[in-house]
Amino acid sequence: MTMSDAAPPIDGWYPDPSSPDTHLRYWRDGRWTEHVHPLGSPAASVDAAANTADAERTASEDPAPRKKRRTGLIVGVVGGFSALVVAVAAFFVWGLPALTGPQLTTQDDWAYAWAPLQDDVDINQTFTFPADYDLDAKAVENGDERDTSFAFELFTDSSLTHHVDYSAHQYEGDVEISPGLGAANLRFHWETDTIDNPDDREFEINGGRSAWGVNDTYYLVQKLDKAGAPLEKPIVHPFRVARPLAMPQVNYGVNPNGTLQMSWDAVPGATEYLVAVSSWDGERRQVWLVGSTKVPTWSPPIRDPFSGERETVEQEQNQGLRTYAMWSAAEIEGEAGNGGAVNALDNDTSEYEYGVIATDGTGFSAMQPTDANTVAASLPQEIPLYLKKQQFPDGQIVDSLDKISTRFFFTSVDGATRQTAAYIDPDDVALQKEGVRMHLSGLGTGLGWPMYLTVRDVDAAKAQINAFNERVKAELPTTGLPQVTTISAPIQGDPSQYTPSTTAPDAGYPLSGTDEFTRYLAANLVAREDAIDVSAYVDRAGMPELSDAIGEAVYQNPYVLGYRGYTVKGDIVYVSYANDAETTKRMQGEIASVVGDAVAKVTTSDMSAADKAGALNQWLVDTASYDKAALEAGKATLGFPSGFAHAWDPSGVLLSENGNTGVCASYAAAYKALMDAAGVPSVVVTGDVLDGGGHAWNKVQVDGKWLAVDPTWNDGGDPTEYLLISDAQFTGSAARTQSNDWMVDNRIADYATP
């Protein structure tokens, strides 16, 4: 091929002289190279051509000569900053220095700059970065010759919280980033291979060779410039791997017995679906299979609940789905009590993902990664045998049910020890030698213990059981969030009946959101849109994952009423609501009126944020009552029970038509609405009270610091006990963990209390 066109001024991508309308060719060291790329247009917020002249005037620093490099994504560095230079012919300016490459997208408050998404990347693609520094020498200087995270990191999520391993090698100066050990081979988890898949099948991705794992999109973060100096803003290079099959978009729910339920639309050409769990151990992202199915739905089986043994029964559910590597909290405590010791750090639960991989027997789809703890952290996993003494202080054979705990202890999927209401089915009894045999189970779980009541009269035993169950109800803690808080919901009717919204409606009420995507969703949810087009935000630089954004939009916007879940089809989000549009609009207006009156009544403009927080907490405590009936119904269904639509949004505790009653979510949303109206920054927080399940409370910003307020638990005792306290002050029965579904992941740390 003859390359006779005039020489470009600096190294970079330019129209290919032999096919300038369709391809680019790389110019380096005064000559055309063999590297070509199809002509593309970068997705960016500023027009590239408009910046060409400015960039050419300032692009005077000539990069150092480079030697041979392998094909891949090329990143050039000019003037101390970095920019992607694939498939872009124009120059542009980002900040002060001139850059060769596509436009980077960033904002003043972003910690990163974003390069355009590279689509249909080969499954074993290598990415090349020019470097004048010695990568290995820098790694040694940093104390670990194998750790190159000071220069590059790789993630599976746009919030940059879930790590992936990669290989970094330096070849004649260039740093080459290639797949790590990844998920070339998929095997069934040891807990499930003998149950669902006795043939112990194994699947090979890319023929078992090196591959970019099973995730759909990866985010490669470049931290150093060409000279090895830290970039002012690290650059995120997102890329999506080409796959032969479409990716299943999975919806998550929970069955009445506490097992996770997954469902998705059938994938054309797929003959089987593989249910996968992915985790990060600090060095490598591992993927294993926990189930397979021929149909687009799956739920893990529950082991035979009773082995026939008289005193100890090992029971498990949600097998293979646990999000802790080694030791549960009960095992850690039990070993310590027995004089042993285990490493509590082995219980890290932070980077687990669930997903489904479609296969036709030879090819595989990507897995849509869902944060495992968002959908399943508090679901039951097993009975903690170490806590048998607490469950049965007098043993499993008793003469009175007053001698057993009304709380049922279990180890949840995330390894924590949790409690739920104990329950005994009065119809599941049998007279045996030891007495009346019955099962003590955990409400909302598939777990249970066998036990005996030493009476010879079944009717007398049933009378004790009914009295025990009533005592349990009276002692239920005032929590109330569903165990899967972002519950996926089926589309209400035919999807074609809806015209998806493509704009952010003027809802007429305060909107909260830490980014443009979240605010867009919030506006549509407040406006009760049934279908929302998210194509302008999915894959857009700097935007969070959909599940992250919709979680924040729901929890931080109290005028989102009756939200019950969503389903995704393509780029359209279909939302399920408990109320029709007319009812929603009416209640929103009534809530705003009540909120305005309350703020005007108990606050003044010269009050401090702390004083307003206290006054509105007291007003809410005086006005609202906890809805025990809704709590009991919710515990039984593990979701939103019918007949209590009001109890989970502010219309419950704020509107007299609903008796001014609700559960914790209603209190927290109402308090957020009150604080918004009073001009005090606040958020709704979700998590789990270890003694009672899913819960919602608030945090308020006072004098630049975030402090916690639990208006639900302030209602019933000292109204100031949980007012403007630190996270660490939730102790005893109030001890709790914080989930990550109330705010986009990379912003949660901003709300830590002192």
Over residues 106-116, the mean pLDDT reads 91
Q: What is the spatial distance between Cα 517 and Cα 354, in angstroms, rounded to a whole number?
A: 24
Which pLDDT score is estimated for 570? 84
* Most confident region among 180-194, 337-351, 639-653 by mean pLDDT: 639-653
Domain with CATH 3.10.620 in the chain: 581-751
Mean pLDDT of the chain: 81
Which pLDDT score is estimated for 190? 58
pLDDT value at 617 more than 50: yes
Sign, CA dihedral 361-363-368-374, equals positive
Over residues 492-497, the mean pLDDT reads 74
CATH (one of 3.40.50, 3.10.620, 3.30.1490, 3.30.530) for 581-751: 3.10.620
pLDDT classification of 46: cutoffs 50, 70, 90: very low
Which pLDDT score is estimated for 313? 38
What residues contact 578, with CB distance under 8 A and at least 6 apart? 561, 562, 563, 564, 640, 645
pLDDT value at 482 more than 70: no
pLDDT classification of 556: cutoffs 50, 70, 90: very high
**What is the pTM for the complete model shown?**
0.74
pLDDT value at 91 more than 80: no
Over residues 696-737, the pLDDT tens digits come to 999 999 999 999 999 999 998 899 999 999 999 999 888 888
More confident residue, 209 or 86: 209
pLDDT value at 527 more than 60: yes
Where are the strands (E) in 62-207, listed by range? 73-78, 81-84, 91-93, 98-100, 113-114, 118-121, 127-129, 152-155, 166-171, 174-179, 185-187, 202-204
pLDDT classification of 339: cutoffs 50, 70, 90: low
More confident residue, 135 or 478: 135
More confident residue, 188 or 408: 408
Residue 240's identity, in one-letter code, is: R
pLDDT value at 310 more than 80: no
Where are the strands (E) in 340-460, listed by range? 353-359, 370-371, 380-382, 397-398, 407-412, 417-424, 430-432, 435-442, 448-453
Q: Is the backbone of residue 535 left (phi > 0), alpha (psi -120 to 50) or beta?
A: alpha
* Most confident region among 98-102, 295-299, 491-495, 746-750 by mean pLDDT: 295-299
Over residues 389-395, the mean pLDDT reads 89
Alpha helices in 344-478 (DSSP H): 372-376, 388-391, 458-474
Domain with CATH 2.60.40 in the chain: 251-382
Which pLDDT score is estimated for 741? 85
Question: How buried is residue 43: exposed, middle or buried, by Cβ count under 10 Å (0-12/13-18/19+)?
Answer: middle
Q: Which fold has domain 251-382?
A: Immunoglobulin-like (2.60.40)
Over residues 64-86, the mean pLDDT reads 31
The 10 Å Cβ neighbour count of residue 269 is: 14
* CA 23 to chain CA mean position, Å: 40
pLDDT value at 72 more than 50: no
Which pLDDT score is estimated for 198? 47
**DSSP characters over 535-557:** TTTTT-TTPPPHHHHHHHHHHT-
Lowest-confidence pick of 68-72, 248-252, 750-754: 68-72
Residues 620, 667 contacting (CB under 8 angstroms): yes
Over residues 659-707, the pLDDT tens digits come to 999 999 999 999 999 999 999 999 999 988 877 778 999 999 999 999 9
711 token code pair: 């208006």
Q: What is the spatial distance between Cα 348 and Cα 140, in angstroms, rounded to a whole number?
A: 27
pLDDT value at 92 more than 90: no
Q: What is the spatial distance between Cα 63 and Cα 487, in angstroms, rounded to a whole number?
A: 52
Which pLDDT score is estimated for 489? 55
pLDDT classification of 84: cutoffs 50, 70, 90: very low
pLDDT value at 47 more than 80: no
Over residues 464-470, the mean pLDDT reads 94
**CA-closest candidate to residue 696, choices 687, 705, 683:** 687
- Helix crossing, 609-623 with 581-602: angle to 10°? 120
Over residues 370-384, the pLDDT tens digits come to 999 888 888 899 888
pLDDT value at 336 more than 80: no
Over residues 96-103, the mean pLDDT reads 39
Lowest-confidence pick of 69-78, 633-642, 710-719: 69-78
Over residues 452-458, the mean pLDDT reads 93
Over residues 252-305, the pLDDT tens digits come to 888 888 899 999 999 999 999 999 999 998 888 988 899 999 999 999 887 654
Over residues 746-751, the mean pLDDT reads 91
